[in-house]
Structure 1
Amino acid sequence: MHRRTGPAATLWPVTESHRPFLPRTTPLLRLGPATLQVGGVDGDPGVRLGPLAPGLPAVLVALLRGLDGGRSARVVLAEAVAAGLDPDAVDDVLRALQRCGRLLEVSPEDLLAAAHTPAVRARADLELPAALAAAGPGSWRLRRASTVVVEGATRVGVPLAAMLAASGVGRVHVRDRGTVTAADTVVGGLTAADEGRPRSLAAADAVRRVAPEADLRPPPPGTAPHLLVLTRPWAALDPVHAGLHGARVPHLVATVRGEVGVVGPLVVPGRTGCLRCGEMTRTAADPGWPELSAQLHEPPAARSGPPAAPATGSTGVCTATAVTALTQALAHLDGQASPTCTDAVLELRVPDLLPVRRTWPAHPGCSCGVLPAGVPGPSRHDRRAPGTLEG
C-alpha cells in the first residue's frame, strides 16, 4: 500500500453524506505476512493490498470490517489517522474497492429502515448488499415502504411472500379464503402442522417466521399495492382479474402449471401488454386455444371432465419458480426499467429448471391500448418510482 501521488480521483466524494458499506460476507484473506486480499474469490472482483508494514494488515482488517455504513467517509479517514494509517493510502483502498464493486454506498434513510432492533439489523445486513448493488442508495428504504399482495397461498405464493418480506419489502399480504391441505406443504411455506387451518393465517405465520418485523396486513382501504402477484395456475384467464388493468395495479403471474413453472408476464398498466394481450397472441398461434382455455378457468361445478390441477408441482419446480418470481418482483419494486419478464414469460422445466424466456408482446387489437414494441408511442419503460401507488 502506497501514498497516492497522482491527481485526486473524483469518483469518491469524501463528505459527510457518503457512507461506505462493505458487506460483512466479503472475504478478507491474508497472502503471506504482508499482503491482504479483499474479495476476489469464485470469480468475483477483488483487490490485493500490499506489501504492508508489520502490524498493518490487522489494523486494516479492523477498519474494513467497521465499514457498516454508520459513519461517513470523512469519519472513516479520521479514524484511520488515529489508528496510525496513512489517510491517502486508505483513501486509495476505498476507491479501489468502490471501482471493483466491493464497496457500496448506503443512505442514512436505509440505515434507519434497517435498524429497528439488533435482530432486524442483523437480518438486514445480509440483504442490504443485493438491494444496494441493484438500485443504489435509498433502495432499502423504498423496499421497506413497498406493499405487495400475493393472491393465493399456494406452494409458490407462500414461499415467495416469505422471501419478499425477508428481502426488505415492508408490507406483504397473502390473500386466500381456502383451508390448508396436506398437499399444500412445501419448504419455506406452509407446514404439515398447518393442515386444516385457514390458508391466510397459516401463510402469515410462514412469513412471520423469517421476517417478524414485516407488516402482514392488507393495504389500507382505497389504496393499491405496488405489486399484485397472481399464483393461481390459470390466473391469467380468470375474469376476476380483468379489472386489474383498468385499476392500474401492476401485477405479475407466478405459478406452476403441471410441472412447468411460469413467471410472467409482468404487467404495468399503460406501459406493457396486458394478460389479454397474451391470450390474443396465443389464439393467433392456435385458433383452438379459446375453447381449451374456457375449460381451464370455469368454475369446478361446471366442468364435465377432471378438475383442473392446483398450483402444486414438485418442490424443486415450486421453489425455483418462487425464486425467479422474487427477482422479477424486486426488479419492479426497485425501479428497473425493463425486468426480464416484461411482455414475456419465463418457463422453468425439469430437470435443469433454467428459465427460458418466451415473448408475449402487446397485441395491436387489444383494448388495453399499449402499442407493440417498435410502434411509435409513449415510452413503455417509464416506470414510476417505487413507493408510489399506481392509479
Structure 2
Amino acid sequence: MADTAHPLLPASVPLLRLAGADGNEDLQVGGADSADGLLVSPGTAGLTTLLRGLDGRRPQRTVLAEAARDGHDPTAVTAVLDALRSTGLLVDLDPADLLASTAGPAAAARTQTELPTATSRDSGSRWRGRWAATVVVDGATRVGVPLAAVLAASGVGRVSIRDHGLTTAGDAVVGGLGADDEGRPRALAAADAVRRASPLTDLRPLPAGSAADLVVLTRTWAASDPLAGDLQRRGVRHLVATVRGETGVVGPLVVPGATSCLRCADLHRRDADPRWPALAAQLTSGEAPPGGATVTCLATAVTAAVQVLAVLDGAGAPASLGTTVELRPPDLLPRTRRWPAHPDCGCVPRGAGEEAGAAPSAALSHIGGQWSPSAPPGPDGAGAAATAAD
C-alpha cells in the first residue's frame, strides 16, 4: 500500500484486550460479531491508542513516523495495517473526501461515521459523488421527511423537499415532522427536521430549469401525478417511496427511456383488472390521509434511502430498477414485484427496451453495476410476479 494512503479505522470497530498464552497481552480488532477480525499477538503497548487514532486525516507515512517516534516498529505496524485492510476493517480515504466535508468538529464527527460505508476497495470513494448530488423529495410525508433526513445525514449535499400543504397532527413521525409542527407549512417544518440530522445540508429549492440527480415521489399514488409525466418527458430519474394502506412500497426506480415508467405499471394493472382506471380515479381524487404505522414508514424510508444511495454511488443496479419492493406488516419482509415495459406505453424505444425477464441493459449505462432480472409477469392480480426477497 502506498505511503500516501489515508487509513481510517471506524470508531465502531471494537479493540478488545486478551490475555496471551505467554503472559503478554494480545489485541483483537473486530471479530466480535459475524465480521472478520484480526488477532495481534502480542499486542504491543500503545497499539490500541495508535489504531484508535487512525481517523483518515493523515497519510500512512505520517502514521508510521509518529509510530516510530512513540517506540513502535514501523515494519510491524505496516504489517498490522495491511492485515486490517485484507479483512476489510481498515479503509483508505481519498484526501479530497475530507475537503468535500463541512468544516468544524461537530460536522467532522458526523462525517466520520458515514465515510466507511461510502468507501470501498473495489469502487473507491463515493463520498464526493454524494456531496455533489441533488435529490428532490416530492412530498413532506411520513416517509418523505425521514427519508430526506437520512439522505442528508448520509452525505447527500443538497436535499430539497417540495410540499405546499400545512402540517396536520397525523403527519408527525419519528425522525420527521413533530407534533409541535401542526399548522406550519410542511416544507418549512420538513427543512427543520432535516437540519436536526444534518445542519449544513443545502435545503434550497432548485433554480428554474435545473434538474435533480433523482426525484423521490412520496405521495401515495404518484403514477397519476402530472409531475411523474413531466419527469418522464424531461428524462429525470425518479423513484416511488410511499405507504399504500398499510404496505410500504419502494419503486419502481424509473430511468426514462431505459426502463418501464410509472404508466406501464398502471397499464399492467388495467390488463389484470379492467376496472382499475375507475378505481384509480377515486384513489387519486383527493389528498390521501397520512397512513402507515410508524415502523412501516421508517422501514420504507430506510429502504428507499438505500436505493437512492445506490443510484448516487453507482455501486450497482438498485433492486428497485423497474421493480417495486413491498414491505407488508407485520413482518415487513421485503417482496419484489417486477414491472416490465408495457407494449401500449411506448416509453422505451424499440431496440433499447426491456422484454419480460430481460435485463434493462440501457439503464445500466445510467446506473452502473450488474443487474439480475426478477421473475417475468405472472397472474398475481397486478400483472407482475411477486417473489419473496432473499
Which shifted more, 207-216 or 124-133? 124-133
Which shifted more, 28-37 or 233-242? 233-242
- Quote how far apart the aligned CAs of 1:179 are: 0.4
**Structure 2 match to 1:333:** 312
**Structure 2 match to 1:229:** 216
- Quote how far apart the aligned CAs of 1:377 are: 8.3
Q: Percent of pairs identical after alignment? A: 56
**Structure 2 match to 1:246:** 233
Q: Does 1:38 align with 2:21?
A: no
Which shifted more, 156-165 or 362-371? 362-371
**Structure 1 match to 2:277:** 290
**Structure 2 match to 1:127:** 114
Secondary structure of the structure 2 residue equivalent to 1:327: helix
**Aligned equivalent of 1:213, options 200, 207, 210:** 200
1: CA distance, partners of 2:163 / 2:6: 42
**Structure 1 match to 2:301:** 322
- Quote how far apart the aligned CAs of 1:128 are: 1.3
> Contact (CA 8 Å) 1:156, 1:322: kept in 2 or not?
yes
> Contact (CA 8 Å) 1:267, 1:275: kept in 2 or not?
yes
**Aligned equivalent of 2:243, options 242, 247, 256:** 256
> Contact (CA 8 Å) 1:364, 1:372: kept in 2 or not?
no
1: CA distance, partners of 2:188 / 2:230: 26
Secondary structure of the structure 2 residue equivalent to 1:380: helix
> Contact (CA 8 Å) 2:354, 2:360: kept in 1 or not?
no
1: CA distance, partners of 2:359 / 2:346: 17
5 Å-filtered alignment, 1:267-278, equals: 267-278=254-265
1: CA distance, partners of 2:84 / 2:158: 34
Q: Does 1:354 align with 2:333?
A: yes
2: CA distance, partners of 1:76 / 1:238: 55
Q: Which amino acid aligns with 2:107?
A: V
1: CA distance, partners of 2:46 / 2:227: 62
5 Å-filtered alignment, 1:47-126, equals: 47-52=38-43, 56=44, 58-126=45-113
- Quote how far apart the aligned CAs of 1:220 are: 2.4
> Contact (CA 8 Å) 2:248, 2:296: kept in 1 or not?
yes
2: CA distance, partners of 1:35 / 1:116: 37
Structure number with the bigger relative contact order (C-alpha 8 A, sep ≥ 6) is 1
**Structure 1 match to 2:253:** 266
> Contact (CA 8 Å) 1:256, 1:262: kept in 2 or not?
yes
**Aligned equivalent of 1:371, options 353, 359, 362:** 353
Cα distance 1:134–1:161, how it changes in 2: closer, same or farther (>3 A)? farther
- Quote how far apart the aligned CAs of 1:381 are: 0.6
- Quote how far apart the aligned CAs of 1:130 are: 1.6
Q: Does 1:14 align with 2:5?
A: no
Cα deviation per residue 1:297-341 (whole Å; 9 max; x = unaligned)? Answer: 23x3xxxxxxx6424211111111111111111111111331011
Cα distance 1:179–1:111, how it changes in 2: closer, same or farther (>3 A)? same
Cα distance 1:135–1:232, how it changes in 2: closer, same or farther (>3 A)? farther
Q: Which amino acid aligns with 1:242?
A: G
1: CA distance, partners of 2:251 / 2:325: 6
2: CA distance, partners of 1:218 / 1:231: 17
Q: Which amino acid aligns with 1:161?
A: A
Cα distance 1:82–1:60, how it changes in 2: closer, same or farther (>3 A)? same
> Contact (CA 8 Å) 1:260, 1:348: kept in 2 or not?
yes
Unmatched tracts of structure 1, length 5 or more: 1-12, 301-307, 386-391
2: CA distance, partners of 1:27 / 1:243: 49
5 Å-filtered alignment, 1:194-213, equals: 194-213=181-200
Secondary structure of the structure 1 residue equivalent to 2:345: coil
Secondary structure of the structure 1 residue equivalent to 2:234: coil
TM-score (norm 2): 0.87
Secondary structure of the structure 2 residue equivalent to 1:381: helix
- Quote how far apart the aligned CAs of 1:251 are: 0.6
2: CA distance, partners of 1:266 / 1:93: 43
Cα distance 1:319–1:366, how it changes in 2: closer, same or farther (>3 A)? same
**Structure 1 match to 2:152:** 165
> Contact (CA 8 Å) 2:118, 2:125: kept in 1 or not?
no
Secondary structure of the structure 1 residue equivalent to 2:160: strand
Which shifted more, 204-213 or 369-378? 369-378
Cα deviation per residue 1:185-224 (whole Å; 9 max; x = unaligned)? Answer: 1111111111111111111111111111011101222210
